[in-house]
Structure 1
Amino acid sequence: MSKTTLATGLIISLMLGLVFVTPSKAQETYIDDNCKQNQQLNESDRFTVTYKAEFKTKGQTYWLYSGQYIDGSAIVCISRPGFKQAKPLNIKQLQSGYIERISKDLRNQTAFLITVRDGNGSYVPITQYRVNLSTPERPITAKIKSWRSGR
């Protein structure tokens, strides 16, 4: 077999492989209002997980995650990996608004920066909190800054 025939065959095989590959869509993860995973929930009963991060404290691994309801409101949760021992994070300021952003605090492995909108419209108050989860049963929350949204 010539090198040209072999090369042509490989190129055609690659092209056919690329054409017939069907993209797969990652399955969304749903949780209920107690932060427990349940893929069978109706749309009106579920939150879609929009953020999930793993962290370690005192030799134990935890997940911090947030779910968004169909109206945009959010729930912030903590659990052990695999949604075990899942529960809402007991911080009123986080559970009463719209989560705009969550990120890890680069200065502390067990802390997160969580930005909360107090409404879903224009000119609403926005507050950023630092949440330290070094002791997950007793999270420490500190208000970092607040401002009003634009249009």
Structure 2
Amino acid sequence: MSKTTLFSGLTLSLILGLFSSSPITAQEIYIDNNCKQNQQLNEFDKFTIFYKSEFKTKGQTYWFYSGRYQDGTTIVCISQPGFKQAKPLNIQQIQSGYIDKIDKDPRNKTAFLVTVREGNGSYVPMFQYRLNLSTPSKPALTKLRTWTSGQ
């Protein structure tokens, strides 16, 4: 009797991958506390990027992005494409909080709507800001509204 090979190694590993208990995800991007990309950081030194958007102003292209630390705190950054000249934005109201959400402002291509919590629990103050980066060296922050989480 001859034996027939039912699956090639590649096909078999693909089929086994479908039933694997570990999720298949895209590569996460890590940054340090100076907003520079570094995939070699240990878990205590890295922020994982959760938001990144490209925008143009005054003929230049920029990246606006934010990373989350393991305790939920965040860092908000700006750079040129490829993480060139990366730096944290010097805006205390959004650098010191827990960012829930970032969206592009539909009315302004160089502005972002940033929702910040002032704590990691229930019933904490929440703020929504408009961050205008039309002049990246002088970001402008405007508070749009305030409420308490859980209400």
- Do they superpose with TM above 0.5? yes
Give the SS at the match of 1:106.
coil
Q: Which amino acid aligns with 1:131?
A: L
Q: Could you list the per-position Cα deviations for residues 19-72 of structure 1 after superposition, in whole angstroms to 9, with x for gaps in the alignment?
A: 836575311000000000000000010000000000000110000000000000
The whole-number CA distance in structure 2 between the counterparts of 1:72 and 1:20 is 35
Map 1:2-151; keep pairs closer than 5 Å: 20=14, 22=17, 25-150=25-150
The whole-number CA distance in structure 2 between the counterparts of 1:90 and 1:61 is 20
Distance apart, 1:130 and its partner CA: 0.2
The whole-number CA distance in structure 2 between the counterparts of 1:92 and 1:20 is 48
The whole-number CA distance in structure 2 between the counterparts of 1:25 and 1:113 is 27
Give the SS at the match of 1:121.
coil
The whole-number CA distance in structure 2 between the counterparts of 1:149 and 1:25 is 31
Q: Could you list the per-position Cα deviations for residues 113-139 of structure 1 after superposition, in whole angstroms to 9, with x for gaps in the alignment?
A: 000000000110000000100000001
Please give the root-mean-square deviation of Cα atoms over the aligned residues, in Å: 2.1
Q: Which amino acid aligns with 2:45?
A: D
Distance apart, 1:147 and its partner CA: 0.4
Q: Which amino acid aligns with 1:121?
A: G
Larger Cα Rg: Structure 1 or Structure 2? 1
TM-score (norm 2): 0.85
Paired position in structure 1 for 2:6: none
**What are structure 1's unaligned runs of at least 5 residues?**
1-15
**What are structure 2's unaligned runs of at least 5 residues?**
1-9, 19-23
Distance apart, 1:90 and its partner CA: 1.2
